[in-house]
Structure 1
Amino acid sequence: MTLIFAHRGSAGTHPENTMMAFREAARVGAEGIEMDVQLSKDGEVVVIHDEKLDRTTGVSGFVKDRTLKELQTLNAASSYAGKGCEERIPTLDGLLKWLYHTHLFCIIELKNTFFMYPGLEAKVIRLIRAYEMEERIIISSFNHYSLVFCHQLAPEIETAPLYREFMYMPWVYARAIGGSAIHPSIRSAPDSIIQSSMDDGILVRPYTVNKEEDMKRLFKLGCSAIITDFPEKAKIVRANYEK
Protein backbone atom coordinates (compact mmCIF):
# COMPACT_ATOMS: atom_id res chain seq x y z
CA MET A 1 0.00 0.00 0.00
CA THR A 2 1.16 3.51 -0.82
CA LEU A 3 1.52 5.44 2.42
CA ILE A 4 0.22 9.00 2.79
CA PHE A 5 2.42 11.65 4.44
CA ALA A 6 0.79 14.97 5.31
CA HIS A 7 2.98 17.81 4.00
CA ARG A 8 3.64 20.29 6.83
CA GLY A 9 0.64 18.62 8.42
CA SER A 10 -2.63 18.98 6.58
CA ALA A 11 -1.28 22.18 5.02
CA GLY A 12 -3.99 22.42 2.37
CA THR A 13 -6.71 22.84 4.98
CA HIS A 14 -4.95 24.02 8.15
CA PRO A 15 -2.09 26.40 9.06
CA GLU A 16 1.11 24.69 7.95
CA ASN A 17 3.61 23.29 10.44
CA THR A 18 1.31 23.85 13.43
CA MET A 19 0.00 21.36 15.93
CA MET A 20 -3.46 22.01 14.50
CA ALA A 21 -2.30 20.78 11.10
CA PHE A 22 -0.47 17.76 12.53
CA ARG A 23 -3.45 16.73 14.65
CA GLU A 24 -5.68 16.99 11.60
CA ALA A 25 -3.35 14.67 9.69
CA ALA A 26 -3.67 12.13 12.49
CA ARG A 27 -7.45 12.59 12.62
CA VAL A 28 -7.96 11.83 8.93
CA GLY A 29 -5.79 8.73 9.10
CA ALA A 30 -2.55 9.70 7.36
CA GLU A 31 0.28 7.27 7.97
CA GLY A 32 2.83 10.02 8.42
CA ILE A 33 3.57 13.71 8.61
CA GLU A 34 6.28 15.86 7.06
CA MET A 35 7.65 19.03 8.63
CA ASP A 36 10.59 21.44 8.55
CA VAL A 37 13.09 22.46 11.22
CA GLN A 38 15.47 25.36 11.79
CA LEU A 39 17.33 26.80 14.78
CA SER A 40 16.27 29.82 16.82
CA LYS A 41 18.80 32.46 17.87
CA ASP A 42 19.36 30.59 21.13
CA GLY A 43 19.82 27.23 19.40
CA GLU A 44 16.41 25.61 19.90
CA VAL A 45 15.03 23.37 17.14
CA VAL A 46 11.80 24.93 15.88
CA VAL A 47 9.26 23.72 13.34
CA ILE A 48 8.82 26.23 10.51
CA HIS A 49 9.40 26.15 6.75
CA ASP A 50 10.52 29.60 5.58
CA GLU A 51 13.74 31.17 6.78
CA LYS A 52 11.79 34.44 6.84
CA LEU A 53 8.91 34.88 9.26
CA ASP A 54 6.82 37.11 7.02
CA ARG A 55 4.58 34.67 5.15
CA THR A 56 3.29 32.56 8.01
CA THR A 57 3.51 34.95 10.98
CA GLY A 58 3.08 38.37 9.38
CA VAL A 59 6.23 39.61 11.16
CA SER A 60 9.41 40.59 9.32
CA GLY A 61 12.83 39.11 9.94
CA PHE A 62 14.53 35.72 10.02
CA VAL A 63 13.83 32.76 12.28
CA LYS A 64 17.53 32.62 13.19
CA ASP A 65 17.48 36.15 14.62
CA ARG A 66 14.85 35.53 17.30
CA THR A 67 15.01 33.52 20.49
CA LEU A 68 12.56 30.73 21.14
CA LYS A 69 10.72 32.91 23.62
CA GLU A 70 10.38 35.64 21.00
CA LEU A 71 9.29 33.20 18.30
CA GLN A 72 6.59 31.74 20.51
CA THR A 73 4.93 35.13 20.91
CA LEU A 74 4.13 35.05 17.18
CA ASN A 75 1.01 33.65 15.55
CA ALA A 76 2.10 30.81 13.24
CA ALA A 77 -1.42 30.86 11.77
CA SER A 78 -1.31 34.53 10.84
CA SER A 79 -2.28 33.79 7.23
CA TYR A 80 -5.40 32.08 8.62
CA ALA A 81 -6.22 34.99 10.94
CA GLY A 82 -9.50 35.55 9.15
CA LYS A 83 -10.62 32.17 10.46
CA GLY A 84 -9.68 33.09 14.02
CA CYS A 85 -6.68 30.76 14.26
CA GLU A 86 -4.04 31.35 16.91
CA GLU A 87 -1.18 28.85 16.81
CA ARG A 88 2.34 28.92 18.21
CA ILE A 89 5.47 27.83 16.34
CA PRO A 90 6.13 24.30 17.64
CA THR A 91 9.45 23.06 18.95
CA LEU A 92 10.70 19.73 17.67
CA ASP A 93 10.81 18.55 21.28
CA GLY A 94 7.13 19.33 21.75
CA LEU A 95 6.15 17.78 18.45
CA LEU A 96 8.03 14.54 19.15
CA LYS A 97 6.45 14.39 22.61
CA TRP A 98 3.03 14.39 20.90
CA LEU A 99 4.13 12.14 18.04
CA TYR A 100 5.41 9.49 20.45
CA HIS A 101 1.82 8.69 21.44
CA THR A 102 0.59 8.29 17.85
CA HIS A 103 1.10 5.70 15.13
CA LEU A 104 2.58 8.24 12.72
CA PHE A 105 5.83 8.13 10.81
CA CYS A 106 7.57 11.48 10.41
CA ILE A 107 9.78 13.11 7.80
CA ILE A 108 11.94 15.83 9.32
CA GLU A 109 13.27 18.18 6.66
CA LEU A 110 16.40 20.06 7.67
CA LYS A 111 16.08 23.61 6.31
CA ASN A 112 19.80 24.26 6.05
CA THR A 113 20.45 25.25 2.46
CA PHE A 114 20.10 29.04 2.90
CA PHE A 115 21.59 29.16 6.40
CA MET A 116 23.82 26.25 7.41
CA TYR A 117 22.71 26.11 11.07
CA PRO A 118 25.81 24.44 12.56
CA GLY A 119 24.78 21.80 15.09
CA LEU A 120 21.28 21.29 13.68
CA GLU A 121 21.91 17.67 12.69
CA ALA A 122 23.23 16.64 16.11
CA LYS A 123 20.39 18.39 17.95
CA VAL A 124 17.72 16.74 15.80
CA ILE A 125 19.29 13.30 16.22
CA ARG A 126 19.62 13.81 19.98
CA LEU A 127 15.89 14.50 20.24
CA ILE A 128 14.96 11.54 18.03
CA ARG A 129 17.02 9.25 20.23
CA ALA A 130 15.64 10.79 23.43
CA TYR A 131 12.14 9.71 22.36
CA GLU A 132 13.41 6.38 20.99
CA MET A 133 11.81 7.10 17.63
CA GLU A 134 14.64 6.02 15.34
CA GLU A 135 12.37 3.52 13.55
CA ARG A 136 9.66 6.07 12.74
CA ILE A 137 11.70 9.08 11.61
CA ILE A 138 13.15 9.91 8.18
CA ILE A 139 15.60 12.81 7.92
CA SER A 140 15.47 14.62 4.59
CA SER A 141 17.06 17.72 3.08
CA PHE A 142 18.09 19.49 -0.10
CA ASN A 143 21.48 19.79 1.61
CA HIS A 144 22.93 16.38 0.82
CA TYR A 145 26.18 17.07 2.67
CA SER A 146 24.02 17.42 5.76
CA LEU A 147 22.39 14.05 5.07
CA VAL A 148 25.79 12.37 4.80
CA PHE A 149 26.70 13.88 8.16
CA CYS A 150 23.42 12.63 9.66
CA HIS A 151 24.15 9.13 8.36
CA GLN A 152 27.60 9.26 9.94
CA LEU A 153 26.15 10.41 13.27
CA ALA A 154 23.18 8.02 13.27
CA PRO A 155 23.29 5.24 10.65
CA GLU A 156 20.21 3.69 12.27
CA ILE A 157 18.01 6.63 11.21
CA GLU A 158 16.76 6.65 7.63
CA THR A 159 17.86 9.51 5.38
CA ALA A 160 16.43 10.57 2.02
CA PRO A 161 17.71 13.24 -0.38
CA LEU A 162 15.23 15.84 -1.60
CA TYR A 163 15.62 17.07 -5.18
CA ARG A 164 13.68 19.09 -7.76
CA GLU A 165 15.37 18.42 -11.10
CA PHE A 166 15.69 15.15 -12.99
CA MET A 167 18.52 13.02 -11.65
CA TYR A 168 20.24 10.16 -13.43
CA MET A 169 19.77 6.86 -11.58
CA PRO A 170 18.76 8.51 -8.29
CA TRP A 171 18.57 5.14 -6.54
CA VAL A 172 22.33 4.73 -7.07
CA TYR A 173 22.99 8.25 -5.82
CA ALA A 174 20.80 7.80 -2.73
CA ARG A 175 22.62 4.64 -1.72
CA ALA A 176 26.00 6.30 -2.35
CA ILE A 177 25.25 8.96 0.29
CA GLY A 178 23.81 6.50 2.80
CA GLY A 179 20.15 7.04 1.96
CA SER A 180 17.49 4.36 1.65
CA ALA A 181 14.87 6.53 -0.06
CA ILE A 182 14.45 9.45 -2.44
CA HIS A 183 12.09 12.42 -2.16
CA PRO A 184 11.77 13.85 -5.70
CA SER A 185 9.48 16.63 -6.87
CA ILE A 186 6.41 15.10 -8.50
CA ARG A 187 7.59 16.80 -11.71
CA SER A 188 10.81 14.76 -11.56
CA ALA A 189 9.22 11.41 -10.76
CA PRO A 190 8.15 9.56 -13.92
CA ASP A 191 6.97 5.98 -13.62
CA SER A 192 10.28 4.59 -14.89
CA ILE A 193 12.34 6.33 -12.21
CA ILE A 194 9.94 5.33 -9.45
CA GLN A 195 9.81 1.70 -10.57
CA SER A 196 13.57 1.38 -11.07
CA SER A 197 14.23 2.89 -7.65
CA MET A 198 11.80 0.57 -5.88
CA ASP A 199 13.11 -2.44 -7.82
CA ASP A 200 16.55 -1.58 -6.46
CA GLY A 201 15.27 -1.39 -2.89
CA ILE A 202 15.10 2.40 -2.63
CA LEU A 203 11.81 3.83 -1.33
CA VAL A 204 10.22 6.70 -3.27
CA ARG A 205 8.12 9.46 -1.69
CA PRO A 206 7.34 12.22 -4.25
CA TYR A 207 6.24 15.70 -3.15
CA THR A 208 3.90 17.65 -3.28
CA VAL A 209 1.20 15.37 -4.69
CA ASN A 210 -2.05 17.36 -4.65
CA LYS A 211 -3.69 16.56 -8.00
CA GLU A 212 -6.05 13.59 -8.09
CA GLU A 213 -4.61 12.32 -11.37
CA ASP A 214 -1.12 12.24 -9.85
CA MET A 215 -2.42 10.44 -6.79
CA LYS A 216 -4.13 7.80 -8.95
CA ARG A 217 -0.99 7.29 -11.05
CA LEU A 218 1.17 6.76 -7.98
CA PHE A 219 -1.35 4.50 -6.23
CA LYS A 220 -1.62 2.38 -9.40
CA LEU A 221 2.16 2.13 -9.57
CA GLY A 222 2.37 1.10 -5.93
CA CYS A 223 4.73 3.98 -5.12
CA SER A 224 6.18 3.71 -1.60
CA ALA A 225 4.45 6.88 -0.36
CA ILE A 226 3.20 10.30 -1.39
CA ILE A 227 3.67 13.63 0.38
CA THR A 228 0.54 15.77 0.05
CA ASP A 229 -1.09 18.93 1.41
CA PHE A 230 -4.43 17.12 1.37
CA PRO A 231 -4.17 13.84 3.31
CA GLU A 232 -7.94 13.43 3.68
CA LYS A 233 -8.44 13.79 -0.08
CA ALA A 234 -5.59 11.33 -0.69
CA LYS A 235 -7.18 8.82 1.69
CA ILE A 236 -10.46 9.00 -0.25
CA VAL A 237 -8.73 8.64 -3.62
CA ARG A 238 -6.70 5.69 -2.34
CA ALA A 239 -9.76 4.00 -0.84
CA ASN A 240 -11.69 4.36 -4.10
CA TYR A 241 -8.76 3.15 -6.12
CA GLU A 242 -8.37 0.04 -3.96
CA LYS A 243 -12.02 -1.00 -4.32
Structure 2
Amino acid sequence: MTQILAHRGEAAYFPENTMLAFKEGLKSGADGIELDVQLTKDGEVVVIHDERLERTTNGTGLVKDHSYSEIQRLDASYKFKDLNQKVGIPLLKEVLHLFQSYPDKLLNIELKNGIIDYKGIEEKVIKLVRLYQLEEQVVISSFNHYSLAECNQINPEIETAILYYENLYKPWDYVEKIGAKSIHPYQLSIRSAILEKCLQRNIPVRPFTINDEVTMKKMFKWNVSSIITDDPKKAIKIRKLEK
Protein backbone atom coordinates (compact mmCIF):
# COMPACT_ATOMS: atom_id res chain seq x y z
CA MET A 1 0.00 0.00 0.00
CA THR A 2 1.23 3.48 -0.86
CA GLN A 3 2.40 5.38 2.21
CA ILE A 4 1.45 8.99 2.87
CA LEU A 5 4.15 11.39 4.08
CA ALA A 6 3.11 14.77 5.46
CA HIS A 7 5.14 17.39 3.58
CA ARG A 8 6.73 19.75 6.13
CA GLY A 9 4.10 18.34 8.49
CA GLU A 10 0.45 19.05 7.85
CA ALA A 11 1.46 22.19 5.96
CA ALA A 12 -1.94 22.74 4.35
CA TYR A 13 -3.40 23.87 7.70
CA PHE A 14 -0.53 24.62 10.09
CA PRO A 15 2.78 26.52 9.99
CA GLU A 16 5.12 24.35 7.94
CA ASN A 17 8.13 22.62 9.47
CA THR A 18 7.00 23.24 13.06
CA MET A 19 6.37 20.83 15.89
CA LEU A 20 2.69 21.76 15.68
CA ALA A 21 2.53 20.76 12.00
CA PHE A 22 4.43 17.52 12.65
CA LYS A 23 2.23 16.47 15.56
CA GLU A 24 -0.94 17.26 13.59
CA GLY A 25 0.39 15.32 10.61
CA LEU A 26 1.06 12.28 12.76
CA LYS A 27 -2.30 12.70 14.48
CA SER A 28 -4.02 12.70 11.07
CA GLY A 29 -2.74 9.18 10.45
CA ALA A 30 0.11 9.96 8.05
CA ASP A 31 2.68 7.19 7.66
CA GLY A 32 5.49 9.64 8.16
CA ILE A 33 6.79 13.18 7.95
CA GLU A 34 9.00 15.08 5.51
CA LEU A 35 11.02 18.05 6.75
CA ASP A 36 13.95 20.28 5.79
CA VAL A 37 17.11 21.14 7.71
CA GLN A 38 19.74 23.87 7.59
CA LEU A 39 22.50 25.10 9.89
CA THR A 40 22.48 28.25 12.00
CA LYS A 41 25.47 30.56 12.32
CA ASP A 42 26.58 28.62 15.39
CA GLY A 43 26.13 25.21 13.76
CA GLU A 44 22.78 24.05 15.16
CA VAL A 45 20.61 21.86 12.91
CA VAL A 46 17.27 23.67 12.56
CA VAL A 47 14.13 22.66 10.72
CA ILE A 48 13.19 25.22 8.06
CA HIS A 49 12.72 25.11 4.29
CA ASP A 50 13.79 28.45 2.83
CA GLU A 51 17.32 29.77 3.01
CA ARG A 52 15.76 33.11 3.96
CA LEU A 53 13.46 33.71 6.93
CA GLU A 54 10.88 36.08 5.44
CA ARG A 55 8.31 33.71 3.93
CA THR A 56 7.71 31.47 6.92
CA THR A 57 8.68 33.61 9.92
CA ASN A 58 8.62 37.19 11.17
CA GLY A 59 12.39 37.33 10.78
CA THR A 60 14.58 38.67 7.97
CA GLY A 61 17.78 37.56 6.31
CA LEU A 62 19.47 34.20 5.84
CA VAL A 63 19.19 31.33 8.30
CA LYS A 64 22.98 30.88 8.17
CA ASP A 65 23.56 34.44 9.39
CA HIS A 66 21.59 33.96 12.63
CA SER A 67 22.54 32.13 15.82
CA TYR A 68 20.11 29.60 17.21
CA SER A 69 19.21 31.94 20.10
CA GLU A 70 18.15 34.52 17.49
CA ILE A 71 16.23 31.92 15.46
CA GLN A 72 14.54 30.72 18.64
CA ARG A 73 12.93 34.12 19.19
CA LEU A 74 11.16 34.10 15.81
CA ASP A 75 7.50 33.23 15.23
CA ALA A 76 6.58 30.85 12.41
CA SER A 77 2.85 31.35 12.94
CA TYR A 78 2.54 35.09 12.36
CA LYS A 79 0.69 34.55 9.05
CA PHE A 80 -1.78 32.19 10.73
CA LYS A 81 -4.10 34.71 12.35
CA ASP A 82 -6.33 32.02 13.89
CA LEU A 83 -3.48 30.64 15.98
CA ASN A 84 -3.31 32.39 19.33
CA GLN A 85 0.16 31.16 20.12
CA LYS A 86 3.75 31.61 19.08
CA VAL A 87 5.10 28.71 17.05
CA GLY A 88 8.87 28.41 16.98
CA ILE A 89 11.40 26.95 14.59
CA PRO A 90 12.43 23.57 16.01
CA LEU A 91 15.78 21.92 16.28
CA LEU A 92 16.09 18.61 14.45
CA LYS A 93 16.75 16.88 17.76
CA GLU A 94 13.27 17.91 18.98
CA VAL A 95 11.70 16.08 16.05
CA LEU A 96 13.92 13.06 16.53
CA HIS A 97 12.87 12.92 20.18
CA LEU A 98 9.22 13.01 19.08
CA PHE A 99 9.78 10.15 16.64
CA GLN A 100 11.09 7.89 19.38
CA SER A 101 7.41 7.59 20.35
CA TYR A 102 6.43 6.61 16.79
CA PRO A 103 8.52 3.53 15.94
CA ASP A 104 6.32 2.66 12.94
CA LYS A 105 6.59 6.08 11.25
CA LEU A 106 9.03 7.21 8.55
CA LEU A 107 11.00 10.45 8.85
CA ASN A 108 12.31 11.99 5.64
CA ILE A 109 15.01 14.57 6.39
CA GLU A 110 15.83 16.78 3.41
CA LEU A 111 19.22 18.49 3.53
CA LYS A 112 18.68 22.02 2.18
CA ASN A 113 22.18 22.42 0.85
CA GLY A 114 21.52 22.80 -2.86
CA ILE A 115 22.15 26.55 -2.81
CA ILE A 116 24.17 27.10 0.37
CA ASP A 117 26.90 24.60 1.08
CA TYR A 118 26.48 23.93 4.79
CA LYS A 119 29.82 22.44 5.70
CA GLY A 120 29.46 19.36 7.87
CA ILE A 121 25.66 19.16 7.75
CA GLU A 122 25.78 15.52 6.67
CA GLU A 123 27.85 14.44 9.64
CA LYS A 124 25.81 16.54 12.09
CA VAL A 125 22.48 15.08 10.90
CA ILE A 126 23.72 11.50 10.87
CA LYS A 127 25.24 11.91 14.34
CA LEU A 128 21.86 13.06 15.68
CA VAL A 129 19.97 10.24 13.95
CA ARG A 130 22.35 7.71 15.49
CA LEU A 131 22.10 9.40 18.91
CA TYR A 132 18.32 8.89 18.90
CA GLN A 133 18.70 5.38 17.38
CA LEU A 134 16.42 6.13 14.45
CA GLU A 135 18.61 4.80 11.63
CA GLU A 136 15.92 2.41 10.43
CA GLN A 137 13.16 5.06 10.39
CA VAL A 138 15.04 7.85 8.64
CA VAL A 139 15.51 8.63 4.97
CA ILE A 140 17.92 11.45 4.08
CA SER A 141 17.16 13.21 0.80
CA SER A 142 18.68 16.13 -1.08
CA PHE A 143 18.89 17.83 -4.47
CA ASN A 144 22.64 17.94 -3.75
CA HIS A 145 23.68 14.47 -4.85
CA TYR A 146 27.32 15.01 -3.86
CA SER A 147 25.97 15.44 -0.34
CA LEU A 148 24.05 12.18 -0.56
CA ALA A 149 27.17 10.36 -1.69
CA GLU A 150 28.94 11.77 1.38
CA CYS A 151 26.11 10.57 3.63
CA ASN A 152 26.49 7.09 2.19
CA GLN A 153 30.20 7.13 2.97
CA ILE A 154 29.60 8.30 6.55
CA ASN A 155 26.85 5.77 7.27
CA PRO A 156 25.64 3.46 4.47
CA GLU A 157 23.00 1.96 6.78
CA ILE A 158 20.80 5.08 6.64
CA GLU A 159 18.70 5.21 3.49
CA THR A 160 19.36 8.11 1.13
CA ALA A 161 17.04 9.36 -1.62
CA ILE A 162 17.81 11.47 -4.67
CA LEU A 163 15.53 14.46 -5.16
CA TYR A 164 15.11 15.78 -8.69
CA TYR A 165 12.83 17.87 -10.89
CA GLU A 166 13.83 16.99 -14.45
CA ASN A 167 13.74 13.55 -16.03
CA LEU A 168 16.75 11.40 -15.20
CA TYR A 169 18.11 8.82 -17.60
CA LYS A 170 17.83 5.38 -16.01
CA PRO A 171 17.45 6.64 -12.43
CA TRP A 172 17.68 3.06 -11.16
CA ASP A 173 21.28 2.95 -12.40
CA TYR A 174 22.06 6.43 -11.08
CA VAL A 175 20.79 5.54 -7.60
CA GLU A 176 23.17 2.60 -7.40
CA LYS A 177 26.07 4.67 -8.76
CA ILE A 178 25.98 7.16 -5.88
CA GLY A 179 24.99 4.58 -3.28
CA ALA A 180 21.45 5.84 -2.69
CA LYS A 181 18.47 3.58 -2.09
CA SER A 182 15.42 5.49 -3.38
CA ILE A 183 14.20 8.31 -5.62
CA HIS A 184 12.00 11.31 -4.78
CA PRO A 185 11.00 12.77 -8.17
CA TYR A 186 8.89 15.83 -8.85
CA GLN A 187 5.38 14.60 -9.64
CA LEU A 188 5.58 15.61 -13.32
CA SER A 189 8.83 13.68 -13.79
CA ILE A 190 7.48 10.29 -12.77
CA ARG A 191 6.61 7.88 -15.58
CA SER A 192 4.97 4.48 -15.25
CA ALA A 193 7.88 2.79 -17.05
CA ILE A 194 10.41 4.40 -14.68
CA LEU A 195 8.31 3.45 -11.69
CA GLU A 196 8.04 -0.16 -12.86
CA LYS A 197 11.77 -0.57 -13.40
CA CYS A 198 12.61 1.00 -10.05
CA LEU A 199 10.15 -1.13 -8.11
CA GLN A 200 11.45 -4.24 -9.86
CA ARG A 201 14.85 -3.38 -8.38
CA ASN A 202 13.35 -2.67 -4.91
CA ILE A 203 14.03 1.06 -5.24
CA PRO A 204 11.29 3.03 -3.41
CA VAL A 205 9.69 5.83 -5.42
CA ARG A 206 8.22 8.75 -3.44
CA PRO A 207 7.01 11.60 -5.69
CA PHE A 208 6.43 15.14 -4.38
CA THR A 209 4.33 17.29 -3.79
CA ILE A 210 1.00 15.53 -4.47
CA ASN A 211 -1.91 17.73 -3.37
CA ASP A 212 -4.72 17.42 -5.94
CA GLU A 213 -7.21 14.56 -5.96
CA VAL A 214 -6.61 13.50 -9.58
CA THR A 215 -2.86 13.07 -9.08
CA MET A 216 -3.36 11.33 -5.74
CA LYS A 217 -5.66 8.78 -7.37
CA LYS A 218 -3.15 8.26 -10.18
CA MET A 219 -0.29 7.67 -7.74
CA PHE A 220 -2.35 5.24 -5.66
CA LYS A 221 -3.35 3.37 -8.83
CA TRP A 222 0.29 3.15 -9.85
CA ASN A 223 1.14 1.91 -6.36
CA VAL A 224 4.07 4.25 -5.80
CA SER A 225 5.95 3.60 -2.58
CA SER A 226 4.83 6.87 -0.95
CA ILE A 227 3.41 10.24 -1.84
CA ILE A 228 4.62 13.42 -0.18
CA THR A 229 1.69 15.78 0.40
CA ASP A 230 0.71 18.96 2.25
CA ASP A 231 -2.71 17.46 3.00
CA PRO A 232 -2.36 13.99 4.55
CA LYS A 233 -5.99 13.93 5.75
CA LYS A 234 -7.24 14.35 2.20
CA ALA A 235 -4.79 11.74 0.92
CA ILE A 236 -5.85 9.22 3.57
CA LYS A 237 -9.53 9.61 2.60
CA ILE A 238 -8.76 9.10 -1.08
CA ARG A 239 -6.51 6.11 -0.39
CA LYS A 240 -9.34 4.41 1.49
CA LEU A 241 -11.70 4.94 -1.43
CA GLU A 242 -9.17 3.62 -3.93
CA LYS A 243 -8.74 0.26 -2.18
Give the shorter-chain TM-score range: over 0.9
Residues 149-191 of structure 1, C-alpha deviations (whole Å, 9 max, x = no match): 0000000000001000011111111111111100000010122
d(CA) in 2 for partners of 1:123 and 1:223? 31
Q: Which residue of 1 aligns with 2:18?
A: 18
- Following TM superposition, the consecutive aligned residue runs of length 4 or more in structure 1 with deviations greater than 4 angstroms are none
Q: Which residue of 2 aligns with 1:184?
A: 185
Q: Secondary structure at the match of 1:5?
A: strand
Q: Which has the higher helix share?
A: 1
> What is the identity, as a one-letter code, of the residue corresponding to 2:174?
Y
User: What aligned pairs does 1:1-12 form with structure 2 within 5 A after superposition?
Assistant: 1-12=1-12
d(CA) in 2 for partners of 1:94 and 1:221? 35
Q: Which residue of 2 aligns with 1:117?
A: 118
User: What aligned pairs does 1:1-243 form with structure 2 within 5 A after superposition?
Assistant: 1-102=1-102, 103-242=104-243
Give the fraction of aligned pairs with identical amino acids, expressed as a percent: 49
Q: Secondary structure at the match of 2:41?
A: coil
d(CA) in 2 for partners of 1:221 and 1:112? 31
Aligned residues: 242
> Is contact 2:206-2:225 (8 Å) kept?
yes
Unaligned 5+ runs, structure 1: none
* TM-score normalised by length of structure 1: 0.97
> Is contact 2:77-2:83 (8 Å) kept?
no
> Is contact 1:78-1:85 (8 Å) kept?
no
TM superposition shift of 1:86: 1.8
* TM-score normalised by length of structure 2: 0.97
- After superposing the two structures, state which structure 1 stretch, 214-223 or 203-212, moved more: 214-223
Q: What is the Cα-based RMSD across aligned positions, in Å? A: 1.0
- After superposing the two structures, state which structure 1 stretch, 192-201 or 13-22, moved more: 192-201
Residues 37-81 of structure 1, C-alpha deviations (whole Å, 9 max, x = no match): 000111000000000000011321010111111101000122214
Residues 19-49 of structure 1, C-alpha deviations (whole Å, 9 max, x = no match): 1110011111101100000001110000000
d(CA) in 2 for partners of 1:85 and 1:175? 46
> What is the identity, as a one-letter code, of the residue corresponding to 1:22?
F
> Is contact 1:55-1:79 (8 Å) kept?
no
Q: Secondary structure at the match of 1:79?
A: coil
Unaligned 5+ runs, structure 2: none
d(CA) in 1 for partners of 2:153 and 2:141? 14
d(CA) in 2 for partners of 1:47 and 1:121? 14
